[in-house]
Amino acid sequence: MSRARENADGARLDAPLASPAFTGTPTGITAAHLEAGVLPSDVTGGSGLTALSASNLSAGTVPDARFPATLPAIDGGDLTGVGLIMVNKQSATFYTTTNSEQTFDFTNVPDGATAALCTVYIGSDSDHIDWHIGRATDTGSSWSSGSTDPGWSDGWGDILHTWPGNVGGYSWWQGSMIIPVDSLGRFKARPAGASNLGNRIRFTLIGYFA
């Protein structure tokens, strides 16, 4: 059995109010006043939220300030799964009758690459020719006759490639070569041990290592 009630103004209430709701802009409400649960879907903003777990994110885009659109490239030491990157082939040749040096700067090898993969063609009008190849080269006789040490010096380059000799004046395919490059993606080549003769080399870029 229910009773009728009167409020302070004497109004008679026969039943509780159904679905009471606030209107206007309430003030003084803090998180401490909210019971556990889920905020309504039309609540937006969230600028005052702290310690929000990423597991609570179901949609939207993380701002660049929190997760940059482009990852910073420091040294790539922590990257995994990055190996040979194939590119469109590019070729460059070098012919000289002296011990001069040539720089090879393929546009398909970007700055920051560590090495280039090339096929190599070599020829010479000499009985043999040694090529010093790498980030830096120097001249020098690459062989020391009568010694157990062939005489190679690391200062001459990263790679020594020896052409065995003139075979009918032809150039011959020498296979593939991984060549270290400098910070701008370049490498150099220099013939050593023979001069005043026609020495030629051709590199065809296949890919590079990041």
Whichever domain contains 201, its CATH number is 2.60.120
- Whether 186 is in a domain gets the answer yes
Chain segment 135-166, per-residue pLDDT in tens: 988 776 555 556 566 556 666 778 777 666 55
Does 40 score more than 80 pLDDT?
no
CA distance 196 to 194: 7
Whole-model pTM: value is 0.56
Count CA atoms closer than 13 A to 156's CA, side-chain side. 19
For residue 116, the enclosing domain spans 92-209
Does 34 score more than 90 pLDDT?
no
More confident position, 118 or 81 = 118
Alpha helix ranges (H) inside 45-194:
none
- Whether 204 is in a domain gets the answer yes
Q: Are 192 and 131 in contact (CB under 8 A)?
A: yes
CA distance 70 to 44: 28
CA distance 172 to 192: 18
Q: What pLDDT is recorded for position 112?
A: 92
CB atoms within 10 A of CB 157: 28
